[in-house]
């Protein structure tokens, strides 16, 4: 039994400290994921809070038939999709209002090269906008794989898809994002590059 399984079972038994431990372990990951779905910091915080409220509410139903992280990400995907449906399905892009400490604008230390820093921030904006403009079924797979770092197997379990479907949708999503970046003037190959996608990670 892994340490996380032990914590999960303690939390299910009513140990509030164990539940808090799980929240602390995953809250940043869920927030970053939600930020790419919603495009708005406050909305991402609201959805993250909703995810953990659902986790608390439905915890007794978790039968450990899958990994805890898989189950939690499924809750997070559903919470984000529910939020977007309530809002009409369109993300509220408010990246201009994000401060420099926002995960969207987290960059390496380029303060001694303002030109490079500006180019990187512009690329970040374009990547975030490109992700938001993807069809939902492509966006969620790209977010789970290239932002959250889940494996193909984990994504398949979260979304209940065959791994072949996950891979083909991811390839199309990267292709569409690459084309979007090219249109915006960011040189891109057939697909968005690993380096470009890395910009959108936390």
Which CATH number characterizes residue 37's domain?
1.10.1740.10
- Whether residues 70 and 105 share a domain: the answer is no
79 lies in the same domain as 118 = no
Domain count, the chain: 2
Question: Is 171 within the bounds of a domain?
Answer: yes
Verify that 145 and 72 share a domain, yes or no. Answer: no
Q: Is residue 93 part of a domain?
A: no
Contact 51, 79 (CB under 8 A): yes
Contact predicate 152/105, CB 8 Å: no
Looking at the structure, tell me whether residues 71 and 10 fall in a common domain.
yes
Which pLDDT belongs to residue 95? 32
Q: Give the CB-side neighbour count of residue 32, counting CA atoms within 13 A.
A: 19
pLDDT tens-digit series, residues 106-145 = 333 334 455 566 677 777 788 888 888 899 889 999 999 9
Q: Are residues 102 and 48 in the same domain?
A: no
For residue 132, is it within any domain? yes
User: Tokens standing for 37?
Assistant: 């779905």
When comparing pLDDT for 58 and 124, which is higher? Answer: 58
Segment holding 192, helix H or strand E: none
**Under a CB-based contact definition with an 8 Å cutoff, are residues 200 and 107 in contact?**
no
Question: Structural domain of residue 195, as residue ranges?
Answer: 98-199
- Residue 69 sits in the same domain as residue 117: no
What is the structure's pLDDT at 104? 32
Position 105 scores a pLDDT of: 29
Q: Are 52 and 23 contacting, i.e. CB atoms less than 8 angstroms apart?
A: yes
Q: Euclidean distance between the first and final Cα of the chain, in Å?
A: 30
Question: What CATH number is given to the structural domain containing 185?
Answer: 1.10.10.10
Same domain, 119 and 78: no
Selection from 21, 150, 7, 8 nearest residue 73 by Cα: 150
Tokens standing for residue 74: 């499924």
Angstrom distance (rounded) from CA 91 to CA 43: 10
Q: State residue 21's pLDDT score.
A: 95
Q: If we measure between CA atoms, which residue out of 153, 87, 93, 84 comes closest to residue 124?
A: 93
């Amino acid at each position: 039994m892994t340490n996380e399984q032990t914590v999960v079972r303690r939390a299910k038994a009513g140990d509030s400290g164990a539940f808090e431990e799980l929240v602390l372990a995953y809250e940043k990951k869920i927030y970053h994921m939600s930020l790419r779905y919603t495009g708005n910091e406050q909305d991402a915080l609201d959805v993250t809070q909703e995810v953990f409220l659902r986790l608390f509410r439905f915890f007794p139903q978790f039968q450990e038939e899958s990994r805890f992280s898989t189950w939690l990400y499924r809750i997070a995907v559903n919470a984000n999709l529910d939020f977007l449906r309530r809002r009409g399905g369109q993300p509220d892009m408010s990246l201009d209002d994000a401060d420099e400490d926002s995960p969207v604008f987290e960059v390496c230390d380029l303060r001694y090269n303002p030109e490079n820093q500006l180019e990187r921030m512009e690329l970040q904006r374009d990547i975030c906008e490109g992700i938001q403009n993807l069809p939902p079924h492509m966006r969620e797979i790209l977010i789970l794989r290239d932002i959250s770092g889940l494996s193909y197997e984990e994504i398949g379990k979260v979304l209940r898809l065959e791994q072949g479907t996950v891979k083909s949708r991811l390839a199309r999503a990267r292709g569409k994002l690459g084309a979007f970046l090219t249109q915006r003037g960011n040189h891109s190959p057939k697909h968005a590059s690993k380096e470009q996608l890395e910009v959108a990670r936390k």
